[in-house]
Structure formats: C-alpha cells, structure tokens
Structure 1
Amino acid sequence: MTFLETLIEENRQIWQQYLEHPFIKKMADGSLKLSIYHHYLIEDTLYLKEFGRVYAYALYKADTLQQMRYFYEMLSIVQKNEAYSRIQHLQELGEDIDEIENRRPHPINAEYTAYMLEIAKSGDVADVLAASLPCMVSYYFIADYYVKKSKHVLDHHFYGQWFNDYSNASYAYYISRWADVFHQLSETISKDHKNKLRKIFKECSLHELKFWDMAYQKGKEYV
C-alpha cells in the first residue's frame, strides 16, 4: 500500500462523504440544477487559479529534475485541462472569463487556497503534495466510482464531461505517478514529518468537503 493509499484509508470517513454528497449524487443522476453547477464552475475557476500557484511553488522547490517534470505535468493539467474545461462551460453559460477572474472567491474557497499556499510557501515538496493530492485524487475517486456504477453519468452535456475528465485512463495514469512520487518521498522522511503530512492531508480533505458544501448550499442561492 502506498503512503497515499494509507492516508486515504485513514480518512475514509471523510472521503465517503464525497460520494454521498448531494452535489455529487445529483450531478451523477443529472438532477443537479444548472444554476448550482454554474456557481461551482465560477468558484472552481477561482480555486484553480490559486491551485496553479501552489504547484508553481512546488516546481521551484523540487529537489530533482524528475520531481520538476512531475510538478510541471500537474501544473499543465490544471491550466490546460481543468481550467480550459471550466472556461468552455462558463462561456457557454454567457460568462465573461476576465470578469470572473477579478471576482472575490467565497470565504470557504479563499480559506482553502490560503491554507495550501501557506503550506507551499513554508513547506517542502512532500508537504505540497500532502496539501494538493486530496483535491486531485478525490476527483478521480469520485468520478471513477460513479462511472463504474453507471456509464449514464457520462451522458449529460455538462456533468458528463466532468466525470469523463476525472475518470479517464490518462488522468488515472497521472494519479498513479504522483502517488509513486509521494510514496518515495515518504520513505525518506522522519516519523514526525510523516505525522505532519497526515495532518495536512486530513485538513485538506476536510477543506474539500467544505468546498462541496459551499458549492451546493451557496449555489442554491446563485442567480
């Protein structure tokens, strides 16, 4: 079992709540109101902007060329794949992307990214991975679960793309690569550092859950 798999298992109760979250369940069956998803896309676009900065710090702090390649891959996926997909859908919904980038994120969103950025500034490569992997991997965890449960989750124009983006073989491949890097790093650090990584991973797993809560609850108020 990799260190990442160990951390996911230790936080299984939190991660299970992702699968059972009303936002996710309604997105999977196609019943989620588009206005709620619209709000999520805006908040997630603002989130990804800051998430890119986290990986920029990791790229700068990388100890080896191999680590630099991995973080460059992650940064590229965030900017070229995830952000691009959000922008496409927001434009379909009539949004001005330049205007969105100047908006203030919801406080729950801002709190999450501020925490990750602080870890990225003060910590090392392993710390950055512990902070960022809950987001990257939980999306695969969710999408893979629902696609295996029913291929019909791929049918919806908006939500189907989300499930496809995070369950496809290419994304799964990168997840496995990042898990391997994280595991390699975990084998060369102290017990105290491992415990620090556990705390960071749990904190960011909880932030992920709060983000889904925010997306669903505030999305219902979004017009």
Structure 2
Amino acid sequence: MTFTEQLRQEAEPIFEAIMEHPFVRGIANGDVPKGAVTHYVKADFEYLNAFMHLYGIAVSKCHDRDDIEFFTQNIDFVLNSEVHPHHNLCEYIGIPYEQLQGYPLPPNADYYIKHMKHHAHEGNLGEILAALLPCPWTYLEIGNRLMEEVNPDTNHPFYTWITFYADTSMSNTTINLRERLDTWAEGASEREKEHMKEAFIKSCQLEWAFWEMSYNEQTWDLIPRASVASS
C-alpha cells in the first residue's frame, strides 16, 4: 500500500462525511440555498487565490524542473479553468461573478489557508504536497460520486460544476500530486511522514469545515446580534 493509499484509508470517515454533507447533497439534488452558494463563492475565490500562492511557494522549494513545470501548470489550471464551476454557481444564484470577489475570509476558510501556509513555510515539499492534496482529491471524488448517482444532463442546474470535477483534468492533477507525495515519502523519515500525515488529515477535516462554513454562512460575528441588542 502506497503512502497516499494509507492516508486515504485513514481519512475515509472524513471523505464520507463530505459526501453526505447537505451542501454536497444539495448539489446532487440541484437545490442548494442561494445564500450558502453565495457564501461559498465569495470564500472559494479567495481560497483559490491563496492556493495559487501555495503552488508558488512549492515552486520555490523545487530542485527538479519537472516539478517546477507541474506546479506552474497547476497555477494556470486554477487561474484559467477553475473559474468555470464558479460561473455555474453564479448563474444558479443570479449574481455576476465579479460582485462576489474581494470579500474577507470566513473563519473556517481563514484557518484552512493559514494551516496550509504554515506547512508551506515551515515544512518541506512533502508537507506542502500533503496539505494541498485533499482539495483536488475530495472534489474529484465528489464529482465522480455525483456522476454515478445523478448522471446529470445539461438541464441539471449544477451540470457544469459536477462534470468539471469529474473530468480527467481534475483526475490528472490528483494523480500527479499523489505520485509526487508517494515519491517524497519513500525517502522521508518517520518524523517527516508524521508531519505529512498531519498536514493531509487536517486539510481533509478543513475541507469538510469549508462546506459547513458555506452552508451555515459562517461569519466572524459569532455573537448573535439579538443577544447583543438585549444585553
């Protein structure tokens, strides 16, 4: 069993919780609260900006030109391709994409980005790979699961979103990240592998937390306004 196979096995309960999250089930059913979708797009736009920065940090730690090319291509993929599912969500809520950009990160998204930046700055390339991998891997599995369950046609409101994440481009990104992480793990110490495992599992947990944050429209205003007014 490869290192990433071991990680995926350990993260199985988290992956399954993501699959059963009401936001993901809503995508499958074609019915997600529009406020939740708006909150998701605002946060994910900023999250993907940070994801590109993390790929840039990974480039700075590469010694192999093939790795540099890989991370550079992934920046291009996020920048120019991953806007398509965002546009699909914006069509669903009837709000132009440009109006949902530049908002502060909600707490869970802020924590997720800082978690990945910690491993990017403090850890080695293996830790960066481990922290980045759950994002494309969970989305790939969501896309594949929904294609099997729903088999959407073009009339499905989230047809573009589902087919994008079930596409070979997302599969190739996940496979390549896994292969690089498996290769890195072969020469890593047990301590280094523990750090990589920690980075991966926490990113999986924060993937679930991102869906939860979006569905509940989480904000920094954690004290209910009614309680403040009555005090």
TM-score computed with the length of structure 1 as normaliser: 0.89
Inter-partner Cα distance in structure 2 for 1:154 and 1:10: 36
- Aligned 8 A contact 1:29 1:153 in 2: no
How far 1:89 moved relative to its partner? 4.9
- Aligned 8 A contact 1:46 1:105 in 2: yes
TM-score computed with the length of structure 2 as normaliser: 0.86
Which has the greater radius of gyration? 2
In structure 1, the gaps of 5 or more residues are none
Q: 1:21 to 1:118 in 2, by over 3 A?
A: same
In structure 1, the residue matched to 2:23 is: 23
In structure 2, the gaps of 5 or more residues are 219-231
Inter-partner Cα distance in structure 2 for 1:214 and 1:52: 22
What letter matches 1:217 in structure 2? N
In structure 2, the residue matched to 1:135 is: 135
Once the two structures are superposed, residues 74-108 of structure 1 have per-residue CA deviations (whole angstroms, 9 ceiling, x without a partner) of: 212111111354257548833462x6443211111
What letter matches 1:177 in structure 2? N
- Aligned 8 A contact 2:88 2:160 in 1: no
Q: 1:150 to 1:133 in 2, by over 3 A?
A: same
Structure 1 or 2: more helix by fraction: 1
**Where do residues 48-87 of structure 1 align in structure 2 (5 Å cutoff)?**
48-83=48-83, 85-86=85-86
**Where do residues 35-184 of structure 1 align in structure 2 (5 Å cutoff)?**
35-83=35-83, 85-86=85-86, 89-90=89-90, 93-95=94-96, 97=98, 100-152=100-152, 155-157=155-157, 159-184=158-183
In structure 2, the residue matched to 1:194 is: 193
- Sequence identity of aligned pairs in percent? 24
Inter-partner Cα distance in structure 2 for 1:83 and 1:4: 28
Q: 1:151 to 1:86 in 2, by over 3 A?
A: same
Report the RMSD for the aligned CA atoms in angstroms.
2.0
SS of residue matched to 2:217: helix
Inter-partner Cα distance in structure 2 for 1:111 and 1:149: 32
**Greater CA deviation, 63-72 or 84-93?**
84-93
Inter-partner Cα distance in structure 2 for 1:33 and 1:101: 19
Inter-partner Cα distance in structure 1 for 2:87 and 2:142: 22
